[in-house]
Amino acid sequence: MAEHSLDARRLLCPLPVIRVQNRIAELPPGDTLRVFCTDPGALLDVPAWCRVHGHRVLESRQQDGEVVLLIEVRTGDDSA
């Protein structure tokens, strides 16, 4: 298991979700993805996408104008 990161700063909806979707499709189950965003909508949009596709949000926070999410990749439907 490894932790990966994704910089989705300065991207507006729906791009953070699309970038998360594309990156998770490349990762094996059990790995984690730490996502950094500046779009406050990502705090709701990315976890919603994770619920639909079977991935687990381990951490979500907003700090200093930035959203940080930690996602556990799980076996599930990784397609859009």
Tokens coding 53: 């596709």
Indicate if 13 belongs to the active site: yes
Q: Would you state the torsion angle of the CA atoms of residues 67, 71, 77, 11, taken in this order, to the nearest 10 degrees?
A: 20
Local structure of 72: helix, strand or coil: strand
Residue of 11, 13, 15, 18 marked catalytic: 13
Ramachandran angles phi, psi of 23, nearest 5° = -70, -45
Active site residues: 13
